[in-house]
Amino acid sequence: MAQSVEKVYADALFELCVEENTLEETFEELKALRAIFDDNPELPQLLSSPSMGEGDKHAVIDNIFKGRVMDTTFNFLCVLADHGRVRFFDKIEEVFHGLYNDKKGILEVEVVTSEPLGSALEQKLKAKLENKSGKSVVIKKKVDKSIIGGIIIRYSDSEIDGSLRKRLDDLRKSIDSYIA
């Protein structure tokens, strides 16, 4: 089965970084580049344009990034530009991020609450998740008033929805099934 473009490029870069012992630096640079590309969406479009020659693409990359990122990251950008793959950078960075987290034993967890999560509750939740997963947990907090109350926890491919909105929806469905 063929792998996605994102996986192929992320895997190749990840293996190179492990081999060259530049994983931490590359991880940080890719996050920074993702922010730059997110703030300037025309840049990845330009660097992926088939009407722009390799030399011109390299000149743009050279002017913006030369001396500001490691050679590994710089060369990776050039390879992506040469193959018209810069438009996939956000997905490549996501896959690389996942590979990094797996290697480092990190579990990123999104916690959604209707009010800001207090630090005491956050620490209890983090300790419980670390105990359950055996990994170091990084909590990303999000406030969404539409859940009314309770908590939603998302990690990997899992979701635990303990929100009041979910309970009300379930109650509504139950009542509807009796009436229908």
Alpha helices in the chain (DSSP H): 5-20, 23-39, 42-48, 54-65, 71-82, 89-104, 119-133, 164-179
Cα–Cα dist 159/171, whole Å:
19
Domain end residue (candidates: 77, 101, 125): 101
Residue 96 and residue 119 share a domain: no
Q: Are residues 63 and 30 in the same domain?
A: yes
The model's pLDDT over 43-58, given as tens digits with 9 standing for 90+, comes to: 999 999 989 898 999 9
Q: Which two tokens stand for residue 32?
A: 């920074």
pLDDT of residue 2: 62
pLDDT in the model for residue 155: 94
Q: Provide the number of structural domains found in the chain.
A: 2
Parent domain of 31: 5-101
Low-confidence ranges of the chain (pLDDT < 70): 1-2, 180
Domain end call among 101, 132, 163: 101
Residues 128 and 172 occupy one common structural domain: yes
Task: Clarify whether residues 54 and 115 are in a common domain.
Answer: no
pTM: 0.85
Residues 125 and 141 both lie in one domain: yes
Residues 84 and 154 in one domain: no
Task: Quote the tokens at residue 9.
Answer: 């490029």
65 and 40 assigned to the same domain: yes
Q: Are residues 51 and 134 in the same domain?
A: no
Across the strands, what pairs with 118? Answer: none
Whether 143 and 157 have beta carbons less than 8 Å apart is answered as no
Task: Say how far apart CA 43 and CA 151 lie, in whole Å.
Answer: 38
Do residues 27 and 72 both lie within one domain?
yes
Does residue 19 sit in the same domain as residue 91?
yes
> Which one of 101, 127, 152 terminates a domain?
101
